[in-house]
Amino acid sequence: MNTARISMTVEAELPQPARTKSRNLLAACIVHALHDGYTDGLYAFLPIWQSQFGLSYAGLAVARALYYGTMGGLQLPADRLLRRVTPRTALVLATLIAVAGFVLMALPLGFAGLCIGLFVAGIGSSIQHPRGSMLVIETYGAASRRPLGMYNFSGDLGKATLPALAALLLPLLTWRPVLGLMALLGVAVTGVLFGLAPSVAAHEDTDKPSAPARPDRRGFGLLTLIGGLDTATRMGYLLFLPFLIHGRGGSSATVGIALALLLIGGAFGKASCTWLSERLGVVGSVMATEAATALLIFATLFTPLAPTLIVLPMLGIVLNGTSSVLYGTVPELAPGGNTSRAFAIFYTSVIGSGGVAPILFGAVADHSSQAIGIVSAGLTAAAIIPLVAALRPALRSAG
């Protein structure tokens, strides 16, 4: 209550446009944290689902792709369908649909119910990403790069919190009640949104983001490919991390700690990689972080449990932090200056990649070994280095 009173007092002292901007940004960040927490929180359930339903690595990845693939594949349709809907309505709708999916997963409906729930929850998250990003851009206009960084950072806070919370609760409760509690959290967030998010975006007093001087579709396509491979690396490694920790003798609680360490490092990486990009540029910073990602992924193959836990925050910095540099570059390379469509396409690529890549990495592991699957994720990060070097002319052209 004291925190709420302080927030209301601070808002009352701000000019009306500043109050609206802060409320818009906070609403977008809260929803982003919840939905990204939902997405990565599912990793804590993978070993349990594999055991209960007798799934292979590839089968487990296919089941999860019902959520992740739906979230990625519906980005463009959701952006078109809800373009005339107010930001508050879109974000509330996204959260309620995701909550409905988690409720279905929590009900004793067997594997079919789990799959349907994953699909429905993915529909909700497909709405959140493009509309949340555009709420920030419409609110801040040409000054949206830093607020977009805060928006992306909030997602990592959710990724660091909900997976750890789920993993800590799983030894105390069965997995269905834990999913039910996650659904209740979504209901609470929906209630907050009704009182927080304005019904319209505060863009009247803000200049629109300027379009690139020479839009380069090839440059944007290359950026989208790089974003997809970066996400593939991250999601491929996360698929194997719970099993890697179990193989080192870790418990379910240790898996939660490992995920939290990796994702807390990722949250810190949002700020540190942005700082790095200001000094090395987009190309130099991405080359450095992807090289470090590959090396640290390979290192976790040879370290015992305790050293692995020490390495994970450092790996998280580069594994997750690179995305903040890539997201911030989307408006610069948006074809024709159409930022909304550019973000929808970019999210479709990165999220779709995150859904397909674990299936491929899982199939590799099923036909070889877990270690080979992890090596494949590391090699994917290394493959980005020559691609990002080819992005330099497009960035120069965009100014």
3-34 pLDDT, tens digit per residue, is 344 344 444 444 446 667 778 888 888 998 99
Closest CA to 265 of 301, 241, 232, 246: 241
Q: pLDDT, tens digit, for every residue of 348-375? A: 888 778 778 888 888 888 888 888 989 9
pLDDT score for 2:
46
Q: Measured over all CA atoms, what is the biggest interatomic distance in the chain, rounded to whole angstroms?
A: 62
Tell the CATH topology of 2-398: Growth Hormone; Chain: A; (1.20.1250)
The whole-model pTM stands at 0.71
Burial of 382 per CB tally in 10 Å (0-12, 13-18, 19+): middle
**What proportion of the chain, given as a percentage, has pLDDT over 70?**
88
pLDDT score for 379:
93
CB-CB contact of 292 with 318 (8 Å):
yes
**CA–CA gap between residue 61 and residue 395 (Å, rounded):** 35
For the segment 321-346, the average pLDDT, to the nearest whole number, is 78
Helices (H), 248-338: 252-299, 305-333
Vertex 399: Cα angle to 218 and 327 (nearest 5): 65
**CA–CA gap between residue 78 and residue 70 (Å, rounded):** 11
Return the SS3 of 107: coil
pLDDT score for 10:
40
Residue 133 neighbours by CB distance under 10 Å: 27
DSSP state of 399: -
**pLDDT(35) > 60:** yes
Tokens coding 94: 């996204």
**CA–CA gap between residue 389 and residue 284 (Å, rounded):** 8
Q: pLDDT, tens digit, for every residue of 263-290? A: 788 878 877 787 787 788 888 889 999 9
**pLDDT(294) > 90:** yes
What mean pLDDT is reported for the chain? 80
DSSP state of 334: -
Q: Which amino acid is at 239?
A: L
